[in-house]
Amino acid sequence: MARSFGTAEFLYLLKAIPWTLLLSLGALAGGGLIGLLIAILRTSPFRVLRWLATGYIELFQGTPVLMQLFVTYYGLAVLFNIQVDAWPAVLLAFTLYSGAFLGEIWRGSIQAIPRPQWEAAECLSLSFPKQLWYVILPQAARISIPPTVGFAVLLIKSTSIAAIIGFVELTRAGQLMTDATFRPMIVYPIVAALYFLLCWPLSLLAQTLERRIDATLGISKHF
């Protein structure tokens, strides 16, 4: 006799949400550092550095996350000769993955800053790192917020893939509850609804921010 899907089962799903969020936030933080580096390298005046950063982005945007997860999971085991837990492997994989996407998003933001801003900074005899840090990045950061929030939505959804190598987050919890209750018609729509509740507010936020920044840029065009 299978368990029925009741409050306890629903609570089990809810308790898995922090793991989904923790994984997303961890990947966002680590990926943010890599992404910043990649974005700067992509816009740097040195060709070799630009190529390296482009290669990194192509590699991670041109392969499935699932494969990146498998390679990291088995790669860590092979390279360090230890059987790793799922947690460090998924965190590493999603960090590297976020780094590529954030790098590409932020490159776009940096390049959206008008050329004269660089030239003006150079006229003030600021060095390249100072031009970047004091003049370009503060402006680029504002433009980059909406697409970064949009990426956070993509990331939260992508972390569901960690379920495939057995990391217990929301989707894996859903699988476990389905196995226990044999009620996929109830469990999976609930899991989908929970993801929707996590992602939809962020999607709306991204849209609102985008509209607001478009409006500000529209005004600044008239001056």
Binding mask 161-190 for another protein (x = CB under 8 A): x-xx------x--xx--x----xxx--xx-
Q: Which of 47, 97, 42 is nearest to 70 (CA)?
A: 97
Q: Which of 48, 149, 54 is nearest to 103 (CA)?
A: 54
Q: Which tokens sit at 64?
A: 């499935």
Site for another protein in 192-211 (CB under 8 A): 192, 195-196, 199-200, 203
Site for another protein in 42-101 (CB under 8 A): 58-59, 62-68, 70-71, 74-75, 77-81
CB of 45 to another protein, least distance (A): 27
Chosen residue from 98, 144, 148, 158 binding another protein by CB under 8 A: 158
Note whether 19 binds another protein by CB under 8 A: no
Q: Closer CB to another protein, residue 41 or residue 69?
A: 69
Instruction: Name 109's Cβ contacts closer than 8 Å, sequence gap at least 6.
Output: 39, 140, 141, 143, 144, 147
Output the DSSP codes for 149-162.
HHHHHHHHHHGGGG
Q: Closer CB to another protein, residue 98 or residue 159?
A: 159
Distances (CA, A) of 194 to 64, 178, 191: 24, 16, 5
Q: Which residue has the tokens 């956070």?
A: 152
How many residues contact another protein, by CB under 8 A?
43
Chosen residue from 153, 168, 173, 177 binding another protein by CB under 8 A: 153
| C-alpha gyration radius of the chain | 21
111 neighbors 43 (Cβ within 8 angstroms): yes
Binding site for another protein (CB under 8 A): 58-59, 62-68, 70-71, 74-75, 77-81, 153, 156-161, 163-164, 171, 174-175, 178, 183-185, 188-189, 191-192, 195-196, 199-200, 203
